[in-house]
Amino acid sequence: MNIFVIGIGLIGGSFVKDVRAKMSAAKIYGIDANAAHVAQALSLGLIDEKATYEDLHLAEFVMVSVPVDVMLQELPKILDKVSDECVVCDAGSTKELLCAALEEHPKRRNFLACHPIAGTEFSGPSAAINGLYHGKTNIICEIEKTAFTLQERALEIFQLLGMRIRYMNPKAHDKHIAYVSHLSHISSFMLGKTVIEKEKNERDIFDMAGSGFESTVRLAKSSPAMWTPIFKQNKENVVETLEEYIQNLSEFKEMLLKDDYEGIYDQMNNTNKIKVILKGMPVSKMVAKEKN
């Protein structure tokens, strides 16, 4: 199968790494606006060949993993170039604007709107890792708008990579993901900012920060080029989550000021149930390992 990856960073690179491991007959073409990334992807063996949009007629499967602002601009052009028998998937963290933008595209049936919930705080081809998608959820939106045989082809590949599939409409996707992903990133970035501002002498952070701080601030290492357009496209939902988060933090502060330690205890105790909620998560193996 001729597989194209457009945008060969952590997401696209990890995707083709696993595809190559599971589909020995796949030929992998790479397209990236950044020539250094293409060269790196070739030397890392992530792709077999450098390609351009003019080669897209050869594609049977295309994974587009570029920042969501670039996605809006490039996906219509990519769809214009592929054959009727090709399925084009994206991996963007927002779905509403993209699905709306492609609604009337003549090749809408060739597009499958996806969001594999997987990643690390690193970026670029060298950040690509094996097994990134194994056991992770891939949210698919508007499945009914994709041609049936093309749905099948994409789902077979996702299954080979060990992904769990969940179907959702774009509006619900963007709303929920604001809570479980976008807000986490902002809380982490602002935590990093608050601490850096205070601790002018970085040596103090270095010496006193434990693994608790490190895990909470991990997402603050993420790429601003990737996250700025996500926050822009999901502005309305993100603002809502931020308002609720700020409200909860302010209430916590008020309880402290009023010496309401019973209230503080209760809030933490109630939130402890996140343990049970997360227990079933496939990714929680990571934390369990840490315990041993």
Query: Under rule CB under 8 A, which residues in 21-80 are in contact with a second copy?
Result: none
Q: In whole angstroms, what is the distance from residue 71 CA to residue 26 CA?
A: 24
Question: Concatenated DSSP letters for 181-200?
Answer: IIHHHHHHHHHHHHHHHH--
- By the rule CB under 8 A, 129 interacts with a second copy: yes
Q: In whole angstroms, what is the distance from residue 251 CA to residue 20 CA?
A: 51
* Cβ 202 to a second copy shortest distance, Å: 5
Which residue in the set 62, 118, 140, 161 belongs to the binding site for a second copy (CB under 8 A)?
Answer: 118
* Cβ 117 to a second copy shortest distance, Å: 4
Q: In whole angstroms, what is the distance from residue 91 CA to residue 170 CA?
A: 13
- Which of 185, 283, 281 lies closest to 242 in space, CA to CA? 185
- 235-257 helix and 261-271 helix, angle to the nearest 10 degrees: 140
* Of 57 and 193, CB closest to a second copy: 193
* Cβ 60 to a second copy shortest distance, Å: 28
Q: To 10 degrees, the CA torsion angle through 70, 72, 77, 82? A: 100
Segment lying near a second copy (by CB under 8 A), choices 14-22, 29-37, 149-157, 244-252? 244-252
Longest Cα–Cα distance of the chain, Å, equals: 68
Segment lying near a second copy (by CB under 8 A), choices 45-53, 71-79, 145-153, 197-205? 197-205
* Cβ 108 to a second copy shortest distance, Å: 25
Here's the x/- map for a second copy, 153-182, by CB under 8 A: it reads as -----------x-x---------xx-xxx-
Which residue in the set 19, 71, 139, 157 belongs to the binding site for a second copy (CB under 8 A)?
Answer: 139
